[in-house]
Amino acid sequence: MRVGILTGGGDCPGLNAVIRAVVKVGARRFGHEHVGILRGWKGLIEADAEPLTPGDVSGILARGGTILKSSRTNPFRDDDATQAALDGFARLGIDALVAIGGEDTLGAANRLHAEHGVPVVGVPKTIDNDLSGTDFTFGFDTAVQIATEAIDRLHTTAESHDRVMVVEVMGRHAGWIALYSGIAGGADYILIPEKKPDIDGLLSAINQRHARDLDYSIVVVSEGVDLGDAGGQGELDEFGHARLAQQGVGDRLGVVIREATGYDTRVTVLGHIQRGGSPSARDRVLATRFGTRAAEMVQEGLYGRMAALRGDTVADVPLAEAVGTLKTVPPAFYDLATPFFG
Ligand code: F6P
């Protein structure tokens, strides 16, 4: 069998570990051949690919990013793009496709399978951890580790200067990174997109600390939080999503805090630092398990499905289940953090 592999959407640590596992397990256990499709769906549309052997994927386990490159190209942006993607599949002479991506990439994979019969297996990737059907996506653990370390570092300088530090982390629709890193880093307040911002609650948490002679505070905010004074939608990508890191909820929140309290306030936007660099050990293992399962699914003909973590088992679920609704933070999980505010 000849298997195509692509990585789509925002990159994240662990993509290379998945590619390595798909290729090594597929070749060694099942005799599969592989081609790496470059730049996500763009590469399928343009039939832009190169052979991938076990030798080619040696030494990439610990490397961040993706050796196949990525893009946010949408094969369903118009009929011509969809037809070109179907033609690309035929031109590359592949029998199956492993698509590694988040909601947009897997949404397109689901449609290619459901509407056009393309034999696709999905692997869930996103630092945001907001894909349904799987308990965790790889990349999330690394991003949380990076954000937590940043919060730890900001704590010491905040204390030295009696400052409020606002830390903006990624999380377009879901506050998983903010919540995990905020809890792990002992944040004094956390704002997530799932919960309407309570600015009075935030200001009172900061003021309570000052009343106790704790003249510094750490506020963690997800980039997707809607402060209600957005000032325009800004640039959109091909899937219609705002490019959030350029719209600065952290900066706006910093102004709100500074103006309301008079406290010296600084803002740190972690941005793409959370997506770069080497994956954590946990993400390397999860990515290897997902890649291994994807190779097995190809061998077993389990198309239109996605490798998924359920408890401590790697199973497979319909792609439709993964892309139907986003996995957002349940209110009870947020409530776990609130006793530590202020
Ligand atoms: O979807 C993952 C993500 O990291 C979001 O948290 C963030 O909004 C987005 O990607 C940024 O993507 P880009 O690479 O287009 O700046």
Q: Are 168 and 267 in the same domain?
A: yes
Residue 189 CA to ligand 1 centre (angstroms): 23
From the CB of residue 215, how many other CB atoms can be counted at a distance below 10 Å? 16
Q: Give the model's pLDDT for residue 231.
A: 38
104 falls within a domain: yes
Co-location of 18 and 79 in the same domain: yes
Q: What is the 3-state secondary structure (H, E, C) of 49-63?
A: EEEECCCCCCCCCCC
| Residue nearest atom 2 of ligand 1, based on CA coordinates | 10
In this structure, what token pair is assigned to residue 184? 């792990």
What would the pLDDT profile of 115-143 be if each residue is shown by its tens digit?
999 999 999 999 999 999 999 999 999 99
Please determine, for residue 88, whether its predicted confidence score (pLDDT) is greater than 80: yes
With cut-offs at 50, 70 and 90, classify the pLDDT of residue 242.
Answer: low
125 and 201 in a common domain: no
Give the pLDDT of residue 228.
78
**CB atoms near residue 254 (< 10 Å):** 21
Same domain, 272 and 294: no
- pLDDT of res. 293: 98
pLDDT at 19 over 90: yes
Residues 9 and 84 in one domain: yes
* C-alpha to C-alpha distance for 34 and 27, rounded to whole angstroms: 8
pLDDT band, very low/low/confident/very high, at 229 (cuts 50, 70, 90): low
Which domain CATH number covers 297? 3.40.50.450
Identify which has the larger pLDDT, 237 or 323. Answer: 323
Tell me the CA distances in angstroms from 217 to 61, 121, 148, 281, 341, one per residue in order: 38, 45, 15, 31, 10
- Determine which one of 104, 128, 130, 141 is catalytic: 128
Of 246, 218, 212, the closest CA to residue 231 belongs to 246
Q: Identify any residues that bridge with 268 across adjacent strands, giving them in sequence order.
A: 167
Average per-residue pLDDT for the chain? 95
275 C-alpha to center of ligand 1: Å? 9
Q: 118 and 34 in one domain?
A: yes
Q: Does residue 150 sit in the same domain as residue 268?
A: yes
Instruction: Flag whether 7 is in a domain.
Output: yes
Domain hosting residue 110, numbered range: 2-138+279-324
Rounded to an integer, the average pLDDT of 272-283 is: 98
Model's pTM, two decimal places?
A: 0.94
Residue 238 is predicted with a pLDDT of: 77
pLDDT at 232: 40
What's the pLDDT score for residue 230?
40
Determine the average pLDDT of the residues in 63-85. Answer: 98
Does residue 338 lie in a domain region?
no
Domain harbouring 159, CATH code: 3.40.50.460
Atom of ligand 1 nearest to the CA of 171: 6
- Tokens 């076990």 found at: 54
Measured from the Cα of 224, ligand 1's closest atom is 8
Structural domain contains residue 329: no
In a domain, 53, yes or no: yes
pLDDT of residue 213: 96
Q: Count up the domains in the chain and report the number.
A: 2
* Same domain? 93 vs 186: no
∠ Cα 106 244 147 (to 5°): 85
- Together in a domain, 247 and 308: no
Domain boundary among 220, 254, 276: 276
Instruction: Assess whether 122 and 205 both reside in one domain.
Output: no
What is the Å distance from ligand 1's center to 250 Cα? 16
One domain for residues 228 and 302: no
Shortest-distance Cα residue to atom 16 of ligand 1: 243
In a domain, 330, yes or no: no
80 is annotated as an active-site residue: no
Q: How confident is the model at residue 235 (pLDDT cuts 50, 70, 90)?
A: low
Q: Is 340 a member of any domain? A: no
20 and 117 assigned to the same domain: yes
Q: Flag whether pLDDT at 247 surpasses 80.
A: no
**Count of residues in the chain:** 342
Band (pLDDT 50/70/90 cuts) for residue 14 is: very high
Report if residue 238 sits inside a domain: yes
